[in-house]
Structure 1
Amino acid sequence: MTSDLGFTCSCCGDHHAELPMSYSTMAPDVWDPRFESDPDSMLSSDQCVIRGRHFFIRGLIEIPVIGSQDVFSWGVWVSLSKENFARALEVWNTEGREAERPYFGWLSTELALYSEGTTDLKTNAHTRPVGKRPFIELEPTDHPLAVEQRTGITQDRVREIAMAVLHPV
């Protein structure tokens, strides 16, 4: 929860009643609606399989908001190996699953707000208690998204993201 519940948008001039602290995508970037009729493909709110060869889970890249207790998050998809995906499914509803080792994966969501592409950044997906999406940890590189995850962002950056998402170019 944020202490500044609203903001005046510099793009449209309107006052938005709430400053969103998270955004999410519905599917990995490589998902195509035509896959819905493929018996070897599936898309749920948390898992995706494409043609029985590509495996994804949905998780959260969490970014601390500097000077507050708030956390901004991107809901993203990460590709996993077949073995790691099978293991993640095996323990999906198991109490204590947060003790699992992280699963290596590749970020499979393009976040257009970043000048450098985000698809295929190296990640580790950390399983959390049942009912909570995995925490997606980016490899500590100099990519702007990875830097933000490590160092945090300001409330002004959260507003900047909101304006860009609400008013895409």
Structure 2
Amino acid sequence: MFGFRWKCRICGKKHDSVPNCFGIEAPWRAFVPDDEFDRRVKLSKDQCVIDEAYFFIRGHIELPIKGTPNSLAFSVWSSLSEKSFYQMSDRWDEADRAEDAAYFGWLSSPISPYPDVLRLPLSVQTREPGLIPLFTITQSDHPLAIDQRNGITVRRWHEMALAVMS
């Protein structure tokens, strides 16, 4: 359908297939000027704490791609309460953490091409160790929630990939 040839910014390799996961940089840029980063932000690949007062976790929002076994994933950030953040952190390496109740969070990353996604309410479900949490949009009438629930076509996946990569 579309000819894709792209170079990954992480591994540096060139690829011919349509990507099905897009990462979003940590949420700190919206809160902290670059020159204050070292003093105010604690950042790992999965967690971000700003000023010891704002807590974020990285997870995936997955959109099933109709007619395929694949999903389009957005690797994004959710805010959590301090209590939820530390409870999740304490259980991070536990084999049974996928059985934990879901946490409540707010989407804290933009997702192109969806409008008005910042502060959408989320269910944050931990999964077994080695997998990052799965985020489910709980505002059922938002276009992102509808696509997460109903899936997207292969054509829509390709259009979204082109839009994100442009």
TM-score (norm 1): 0.85
Q: 1:159 to 1:55 in 2, by over 3 A?
A: same
Partner of 2:3: 8
Give the Cα separation in 2 of the matches to 1:140 and 1:151: 14
Counterparts of 1:49 and 1:35, CA distance in 2: 13
Is the 8 Å Cα contact of residues 120 and 139 (structure 2) preserved in structure 1? no
- Give the aligned partner of residue 25 of structure 1: 24
Given that 1:35 and 1:50 are in contact with CA atoms closer than 8 Å, whether structure 2 keeps it comes out as no
- Residue identity matched to 1:47: Q
CA contact (8 A) 2:72 2:157 kept: yes
| Match in the other structure for 1:34 | 35
Letter in 2 for 1:90: D
Q: What RMSD, in angstroms, separates the aligned Cα atoms of the two structures?
A: 1.6
| Structure 1 equivalent of residue 127 of structure 2 | 128
| Offset from partner CA, 1:70-115 (integer Å, 9 cap, x none) | 111000100000000000110111111111110100000011311x
Question: For 1:13-50, what per-residue CA distance to the aligned partner results, in whole angstroms no more than 9, with x for missing partners?
Answer: xxx71100010112015353334321x52111000000
- 1:154 corresponds in structure 2 to 153
Query: Which stretch of structure 1 is more off in the superposition, 25-34 or 69-78?
Result: 25-34
Q: Which runs of 5+ in 1 are unaligned?
A: 1-5, 10-15
Unaligned 5+ segments in structure 2 are 5-14
Q: Distance in 2 between matches of 1:35 and 1:101?
A: 35
| Partners of 1:31 and 1:72 in 2: CA distance | 28
Distance 1:24 1:77, change over 3 A: same
Q: Distance in 1 between matches of 2:154 and 2:108?
A: 26
Equivalent in the alignment of 1:97: 97
| Aligned counterparts of 1:118 and 1:34: Cα–Cα separation in 2 | 27
Secondary structure of 1:8's match? coil
Higher helix share: 2
SS state at 1:62 partner: strand
Task: Quote the Cα distance in structure 2 between the aligned partners of 1:136 and 1:124.
Answer: 6
Return closer, same or farther for 1:41/1:99 CA change in 2, 3 Å cut-off: same
Q: Which residue of 2 aligns with 1:58?
A: 58
Aligned equivalents of 1:27, 1:99: Cα separation in 2 = 26
What percent identity do the matched residue pairs reach? 36
